[in-house]
Amino acid sequence: NMEATTTNQETQAAAPTR
């Protein structure tokens, strides 16, 4: 998922894909 580019990537890195 690349919605907010960096912002979204940071969230995904901290939280695993649910």
pLDDT for the residue 6: 59
pLDDT for the residue 18: 67
Residue 1 pLDDT exceeds 60: no
pLDDT for the residue 8: 59
**CA distances (Å), 15 to each of 6, 12, in order?**
14, 5
Q: How far apart are CA 15 and CA 11, in angstroms?
A: 6
**Under the phi-then-psi rule, with left for phi > 0, alpha for psi from -120 to 50, and beta for the rest, what region is 11?**
alpha
Tens digits of residue pLDDT in 4-14: 665 656 666 66
Write down how long the chain is: 18
- E strands, the chain, where? none
SS3 7: helix
